[in-house]
Homo-oligomer: A and B are copies of this chain.
Amino acid sequence: MKIKKEVTIYDLAKELNYSPSTISRALNNHKSISKKTVKLIKEAAEEMGYRPNNLAAGLRSNKSNTIGVLISRINRPFVSSLISGIENTARKAGYNVLISQSNDKYQSEINNSNALYDSRISGLIVSLSMETIDMGHFEKFMENGIPIVFVDRVPSNFNSYKVVIDNYTAGYSATKHLIEQGCKRIAHFAGAKHRNVYLERKKGYLDALREHGLPIEDKLVVNFKTLSFDEGTKATEKLLKMTNPPDGIFAANDTTGVSAIMCAKKLGVKVPDQLAVIGFNDDPISSIVQPSLSTVSHPASKMGAISAKRILEHSAQSYDADLSEITVLGTEIIARGSSLRTVKS
């Protein structure tokens, strides 16, 4: 296999009897070059198979036009839609997207943030790992003017762009929805409490109970480690075998919500009449399970698009932008069979 030598702006310059600077300017639509020359040069570039070298351009201009993404794992519906939104938006603006997964490990998050930094990304979009508490690894981005957008799983102790949903209200509404369906004893499947999303959903749950005069029982609040299907099944079994089992579950994600439905059915507990369930995220599985799982919408793709837009806007500005803008997106309760009772008790 012969390796061709790459065509550079020097080759174009020689070929067309222009200086490299003129070629460069023409290729970048610099206004000082006549339309005619630009056209000529671009056509020649095309014909000679010229392709710009982003490494060189990036080194020189100190901007890589690349957005770095730091998430826990890609193969989950919410995350892959988030990235999809980021990529589509970035691509339209001519930006590339560099991804990295922490697999929810703090140390990996540090390593990956360094790797992305080393590529001199124009901005970083982060959804924190489950383990992350200390934010030190993000400081060098701030110090060097690289904007960071935290999305969904955001820190409370770090000032930067944030794109989130109102988890508190969502948790409150989900719980209220169950109450309206006649539930009196509502359990909650809670996620790691140092992650804002889970903490706030839980707060919303607790407040909804309180404000509707329902008692809060510790035994009904199950703290999950990973919110996995198996964990959900075990928790549901335990709850349903109590002498006084709950009549409703608000699960912090759909995976455990679906597991609750399937476990209840297996145990002969009627959903929604004996046990109403609502999840979170609107993952594909939630509309497949029967009865279908009520849930809370989570605008993943839109959150990705907005996050990318923040980076793009920031890059377009020359002045020092205010980095602390927080975008809060709305969510909706999607009521389905798992919670819609025909007769309210």
**Residues of A with Cβ closer than 8 Å to B?**
1-4, 6, 49, 51-56, 58-59, 64, 66, 73-77, 79-81, 83-84, 87-88, 91, 94, 96-101, 103, 112, 114-120, 140, 142-145, 258, 262, 284-285, 288-290, 301, 320, 323
In the complex, the answer to whether B54 meets A119 with C-beta atoms within 8 Å is yes
Copies of this chain, complex-wide, total 2
* Apart from A75-B77, A91-B101, A284-B284, 14 more pairs, CB < 8 Å: A4-B143, A6-B144, A51-B114, A52-B118, A74-B80, A74-B81, A75-B301, A80-B80, A83-B99, A91-B115, A96-B100, A98-B99, A99-B99, A262-B288
State A53–B112 Cα separation when bound (angstroms).
15
**B residues within 8 A CB of A3?**
143-145
Chain B hits for A75, CB < 8 A = 77, 80-81, 83-84, 301
A62 to chain B, nearest CB (A): 9
Residue of B at shortest CB range from A301?
A: B75
Q: How far is the CA of A115 from the CA of B66 in the complex (A)?
A: 11
Q: Given known contacts A3-B144, A81-B75, is B54 in contact with A120 (CB within 8 Å)?
A: yes
Do residues B96 and A98 form an inter-chain contact, with CB atoms below 8 A?
A: yes
* Docked-complex contact A100 and B97, CB < 8 angstroms: yes
| A320 contact from B1, B74, B285, Cβ within 8 A | B1
A-B pairs with lowest CB-CB distance, top 6: A80-B80, A75-B80, A3-B145, A55-B59, A55-B58, A75-B81
Bound complex: CA of A102 vs CA of B75, how far in Å?
A: 18
* In contact, B59 and A56 (Cβ under 8 angstroms): yes
The minimal Cβ–Cβ distance linking A57 to chain B, given in whole angstroms, is 9
Task: List, in ascending order, chain B residues with CB within 8 A of A114's CB.
Answer: 51
Q: Which residues of B contact A320 (CB under 8 A)?
A: 1
Q: Which residues of B contact A97 (CB under 8 A)?
A: 98-100
Q: How far is the CB of A175 from chain B (nearest CB, A)?
A: 24
Residue ID in chain B nearest A95 by CB atoms: B115
The distance in angstroms between the C-alpha atoms of A85 and B115, with both chains bound, is 18
Q: In the assembly, what is the distance between CA of A345 and CA of B77, in Å?
A: 39
In contact, A96 and B119 (Cβ under 8 angstroms): yes
Q: 6 interchain pairs (CB within 8 A)?
A: A56-B59, A74-B74, A88-B101, A97-B99, A284-B284, A285-B285
